[in-house]
């Protein structure tokens, strides 16, 4: 019997609680979700929204990516709490660093993925997480970055110019009704990066609430990292 893929569905994956160690000696709580019985074709290293406003590794889009994409798209999903952040998985050591010391957290996550031999690393940042990706990801060993609701508060034009001279892919999903950066404003700010792919999403808001928004985000991610699995199905057949 087929199962409709909705908000609460958790599809099969191999889940592993992990600990990341930063260059400045902190232990960060995380989880790696892998396909069952298959090697992944790509890896998402996720960066969550602002922890001082409720963001953590279990923020819904990142949780649903881990719940669905290992099975549906053969993609590994690495999530973690940045320093000082708590979630149902636990609390990472340290204190919030205003997007500055979190650069060590991003490096620790990428180092872990590299040590595990995970393939085709992509940064997937949401809101505050996009700031970390933009500020610290352009020179890292990644295929590129996918930005969800980038506010461009902490990331400067200098950071964007680094991406302009990088060979890394850069994709940004801009909600029509975002309170921080709407599509027209995003087009102007991101014009510094000629190769950026801007995707304006009609009807969407900053938090991507609702299955329609969730499905759109996950489909755009999969289209970038494993096009062979796009579009994602809306039904799942056990043991298919």
Tokens read off for 149: 């609701």
What is the pLDDT tens value at each position of the chain, 240 positions in all?
Answer: 899 999 889 999 999 999 999 999 999 999 999 999 999 999 999 999 999 999 999 999 999 999 999 999 999 999 999 999 999 999 999 999 999 999 999 999 999 999 999 999 999 999 999 999 999 999 999 999 999 999 999 999 999 999 999 999 999 999 999 999 999 999 999 999 999 999 999 999 999 999 999 999 999 999 999 999 999 999 999 875
Tokens read off for 63: 């949780």
Query: Distances in Å between the alpha carbon of 26 and those of 68, 81, 105, 111, 197?
Result: 30, 12, 9, 14, 35
**Is the distance from CB of 35 to CB of 14 less than 8 angstroms?**
yes
Q: How far is 15 from 220, CA to CA, in rounded Å?
A: 24
Residue in the structure block whose two tokens are 């549906």? 72
**Is the distance from CB of 59 to CB of 48 less than 8 angstroms?**
yes
Q: Is 77 helix (H, G, I), strand (E, B) or coil?
A: strand
| Radius of gyration, CA atoms only, the chain | 17
Cβ contacts of 53 within 8 Å, gap of 6 or more? none
Q: Is 197 helix (H, G, I), strand (E, B) or coil?
A: strand
Q: How far is 98 from 5, CA to CA, in rounded Å?
A: 36
- Per CATH, the number for 3-236 is 3.40.50.1820
Q: How far is 165 from 41, CA to CA, in rounded Å?
A: 27
Enter the pTM of the model. 0.98
């Amino acid at each position: 019997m087929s199962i409709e893929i909705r908000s609460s569905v958790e599809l099969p994956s191999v889940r592993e609680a992990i600990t990341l160690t930063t260059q400045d000696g902190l232990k960060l709580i995380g989880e790696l979700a892998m396909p069952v019985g298959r090697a992944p074709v790509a890896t998402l290293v996720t960066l969550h929204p602002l922890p001082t406003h409720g963001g953590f590794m279990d923020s819904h889009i990142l949780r649903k990516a881990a719940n669905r994409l290992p099975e549906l798209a053969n993609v590994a999903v690495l999530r973690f709490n940045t320093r000082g952040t708590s979630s149902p998985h636990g609390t990472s050591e340290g204190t919030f660093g205003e997007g500055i010391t979190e650069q060590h957290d991003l490096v620790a996550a990428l180092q872990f993925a590299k040590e595990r031999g995970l393939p085709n690393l992509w940064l997937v940042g949401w809101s505050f997480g996009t700031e970390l990706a933009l500020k610290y990801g352009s020179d890292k060993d990644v295929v590129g970055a996918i930005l969800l609701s980038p506010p461009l508060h902490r990331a400067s034009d200098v950071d964007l110019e680094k991406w302009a001279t990088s060979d890394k892919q850069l994709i940004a999903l801009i909600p029509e009704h975002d309170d921080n950066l709407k599509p027209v404003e995003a087009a102007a700010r991101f014009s510094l990066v000629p190769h950026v792919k801007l995707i304006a999403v009609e009807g969407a808001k900053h938090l991507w609430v609702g299955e329609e928004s969730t499905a759109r985000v996950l489909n755009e991610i999969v289209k970038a990292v494993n096009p062979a699995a796009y579009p994602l199905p809306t039904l799942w057949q056990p043991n298919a």
